[in-house]
Structure 1
Amino acid sequence: MLDLQSLLNDISQTLSNQTDRGKVADYIPELAKQDNQHFGMAIATIDGQLFSTGDAFEPFSIQSISKVFTLTMALGKIGDKLWERVGREPSGTAFNSIVQLEQERGVPRNPFINAGAIVVSDVVLADHQPKETIGEIVRFIRCLADDDSIMIDEDVAQSEGDTGFRNAALANYMRAFGNLHHPVEETLDVYFHQCAIAMTCVQLARSGLYLANGGMNPLTASKVVPRHRVRRINAIMMTCGHYDGSGEFAFCVGLPGKSGVGGGILVIVPDKAAIAVWSPGLDPNGNSKLGTMALEMLVAKTGWNVFGA
């Protein structure tokens, strides 16, 4: 029987001595204010147990982890028609690159790079006002986590909008190819606000349980998505969830995951649990440095690896 609480405590203690903690994202001014000494981790199991350590109850900006939830929503709205507008392949380029988008005529490689997530936000917008859609996204995540306290950090959202010139370029480029159906500023408003959602590790782990439990949310006993869609979302998380570091993450951790430049990572252990880890310092690929180390340590001890213990 695994003693997950002791294991988390050991990981937290080991990493507390780590001096190279990565570099916080400084291209979004609000994120540049983060202290890279933070570390938190939580495990939520499908049978209702919860384990946590460190700053697991401290809210942080989930950033690109939100793309998992909006992808789920977009697939719920238009199903497999989504794949006519966004691909399912690893990009091999930076998450905010425009070069590949030009070569492939405005169709992003996958829904987790910025261009792909902007298309997904455009799908979720669905001819509504941005404010309505932003509210829908927040309500969906609150329902997943069974927690109505989850909010958007408006300062982060404003900071995203004030500095999001590259994302605006991506959006305008896709609009020129007809792959954005709403005005650019409306789609970007949704995108910037979804990235600015603030959650704790505990909330984030709980929100990912439907992907560990065949599409059923064990917290509310409600069906979120069909089982076959869970497999597809987890597959894309495995191959594309960490940008240029996706292959390395699969090699070292071996679980579906999605990172964000706020320093968070959401990881799915199929049929067992969802894990969230947060440490704001990033590696050169934009993934949490200590978070990745913590997950590698956890998997080594638990054997939670989809490729075999």
Structure 2
Amino acid sequence: MSGTAPAVDYQAILDQIWLEVAPRLGEGKVASYIPQLATVPVAQFGMAVYRLDGQMFSIGAAQTRFSAQSVTKLFALALAYTRVGDSIWQRLGKEPSGTAFNSLVQLELERGIPRNPFINAGALVITDILASCFVGSEIALLQFIRQLCGSTAPDFDLKVAESELKTAHRNFAIAHLIKDFGNLHNTVSAVVRSYCRQCSITLSCEELARAAAFLANHGSMPACVPGGTQILDASSAKRISAVMLTCGTYDAAGEFAYRVGLPAKSGVGGGIVAVIPGEAAVAVWSPGLDASHNSALGTYALARLTDLTRHSIF
């Protein structure tokens, strides 16, 4: 067949998704194990699509900032990759865990080598790598995210960081276990404190979609971004996207790939960022979580997006 497929009308598709989602606002449960997140009103939804030509399409609360939580693990991994490359995989794996994101059992059985960089154990190792590369690793990560989204607005939510640190008993236990196996080089206290601050970074859907666009563009900032630069080589960007697909949505990665069909990273703040290779980055936020700790409406919206656009990797 000859000819070029017509461009997708993303705004019309997002408007259709909004009509479907609006009557369902309030579905899911907010993350209650972090006290500050438990106060977030559940009936909220935003979504943004950032095309590589610079066009932004959005609906709902797409400019409202939220606690990115585990979504920041994606950018921490990318920043670590810019510093140490494939040597990351000497200290952690790239396989789905099949267990809870904060499990200790698997970590002990596998002698302090986390299954992947997106469970808490793996994220703590990535934080440790960054702490060896930077003075104030969480500040370096925040600056990296600001660079990617082209805005100085993303920042730490210190109330969330404090709330998270006060309830970080399991993360301290995970870090101590990794340290006992010799896979943590900095102090447990420094790593966990930095990690809690990292997770408190706030982003809007529009900012998050812009920040992830370099992965959709094979490692380079979109050409439409003034002074756009190569963040990662294409091979490294491909590898990060692969780990997103297999490990990015907690222990529901298989179900998410089945329903949505895009590399994605979720967080318990209700955010999900996904990549349409060569086309766009997508961010969605709704704080009500499903049983797997992924945004209930966010997952639905992304599934509808790929159904309606026929843009998935499958």
Spell out the pairing of 1:144-223 with structure 2 (5 A cutoff).
144-218=148-222, 219-220=225-226, 221-223=228-230
Please say if residues 254 and 306 of structure 1, whose CA atoms lie closer than 8 Å, have aligned partners that are also in contact: yes
The alpha carbon displacement at 1:272 in A equals 0.2
Aligned to 1:224: 231
The residue identity in structure 2 corresponding to 1:42 is: A
Please say if residues 127 and 182 of structure 1, whose CA atoms lie closer than 8 Å, have aligned partners that are also in contact: no
The alpha carbon displacement at 1:127 in A equals 6.0
Q: Give the share of equivalent positions with the same residue, in percent.
A: 47
The residue identity in structure 2 corresponding to 1:100 is: Q
The alpha carbon displacement at 1:19 in A equals 6.0
Higher mean C-alpha displacement, 33-42 vs 19-28? 19-28
The residue identity in structure 1 corresponding to 2:276 is: V
Aligned to 1:263: 270
Distance 1:29-1:47 versus aligned 2 partners, 3 A rule: same
Select 2:53's aligned residue among 47, 54, 72: 47
Higher mean C-alpha displacement, 74-83 vs 291-300? 74-83
Query: Per-residue displacement from partner, 1:93-142 (whole Å, max 9, x unpaired)?
Result: 0000000001000000000000000000000111654xx22211111000
Aligned to 2:93: 87
Aligned to 1:240: 247
Please say if residues 212 and 274 of structure 1, whose CA atoms lie closer than 8 Å, have aligned partners that are also in contact: yes
The residue identity in structure 2 corresponding to 1:166 is: R
Higher mean C-alpha displacement, 10-19 vs 62-71? 10-19
TM-score by length of 1: 0.97
SS in 2 for 1:101: helix
Aligned to 1:2: 8
Instruction: Count residues with an aligned counterpart.
Output: 305
Query: Per-residue displacement from partner, 1:172-222 (whole Å, max 9, x unpaired)?
Result: 000000000000010111111111000000000000000000111112421
SS in 2 for 1:217: coil
Aligned to 1:60: 66
Query: Per-residue displacement from partner, 1:276-295 (whole Å, max 9, x unpaired)?
Result: 00000000010000000000
Please say if residues 83 and 133 of structure 2, whose CA atoms lie closer than 8 Å, have aligned partners that are also in contact: no
The residue identity in structure 1 corresponding to 2:105 is: V
- Work out the CA distance in 1 between the residues paired with 2:133 and 2:23: 50
The runs of at least 4 aligned residues of structure 1 exceeding 4 Å deviation read none
Please say if residues 66 and 202 of structure 2, whose CA atoms lie closer than 8 Å, have aligned partners that are also in contact: yes
SS in 1 for 2:144: helix
The residue identity in structure 1 corresponding to 2:205 is: C
- Work out the CA distance in 1 between the residues paired with 2:117 and 2:41: 29
The residue identity in structure 2 corresponding to 1:281 is: G
Please say if residues 67 and 157 of structure 2, whose CA atoms lie closer than 8 Å, have aligned partners that are also in contact: yes
Which ranges of structure 1 fall in alignment gaps of 5 or more residues?
Answer: none
RMSD (Å), alpha carbons = 1.0
Query: Per-residue displacement from partner, 1:237-291 (whole Å, max 9, x unpaired)?
Result: 0000011110000001000000000000000000000000000000001000000
- Work out the CA distance in 1 between the residues paired with 2:250 and 2:25: 25
- Work out the CA distance in 2 between the residues paired with 1:266 and 1:282: 15
- Work out the CA distance in 2 between the residues paired with 1:128 and 1:147: 21
- Work out the CA distance in 1 between the residues paired with 2:130 and 2:257: 29
Aligned to 2:77: 71
SS in 1 for 2:23: coil
Matched, 1:284 2:291: yes
The alpha carbon displacement at 1:36 in A equals 1.1
The residue identity in structure 1 corresponding to 2:309 is: T
